[in-house]
């Protein structure tokens, strides 16, 4: 079975996680939901900036992908999961 991902998407993903870890250390927060929201926002912004710079569409090749989904969509999913995490009080 072939699982589709590209190196750019993987770098974007780990870069966004690194940015959220830096955010957590800078503002002295260990709240996982807040860090998930930051990860999602950063991931979406990076992917959308790359796609705009390459003049590609939202779903076309030219940005990061993982499991056939563009990274900006993964960012939205991460931010939504973080919001649920905060609302539920975990």
pLDDT in tens, 8-45: 888 899 999 999 999 988 888 778 899 999 999 999 99
pLDDT band at 4 (very low <50, low <70, confident <90, very high): low
CA distances from 26 to 1, 30, 47, 62, 78 (A): 42, 11, 24, 32, 21
DSSP secondary-structure letter at 66?
E
The residues, ordered by sequence, that sit 6+ positions from 83 with a Cβ below 8 Å of its Cβ are 33, 37
Angle, CA 24 vertex, CA 31 and CA 50 arms, to 5°: 110
Does position 77 have pLDDT exceeding 60, yes or no?
A: yes
């Amino acid at each position: 079975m072939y699982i589709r991902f590209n190196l750019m998407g993987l770098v974007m993903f780990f870069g966004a996680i690194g940015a959220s870890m830096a955010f957590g250390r800078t503002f002295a927060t260990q709240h996982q939901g807040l860090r998930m929201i930051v990860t999602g926002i950063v991931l979406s912004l990076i992917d959308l900036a790359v796609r705009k710079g390459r003049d590609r569409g939202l779903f076309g090749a030219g940005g990061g992908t993982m499991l056939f989904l563009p990274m900006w969509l993964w960012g939205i999913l991460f931010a939504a999961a973080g919001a649920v995490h905060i609302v539920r009080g975990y």
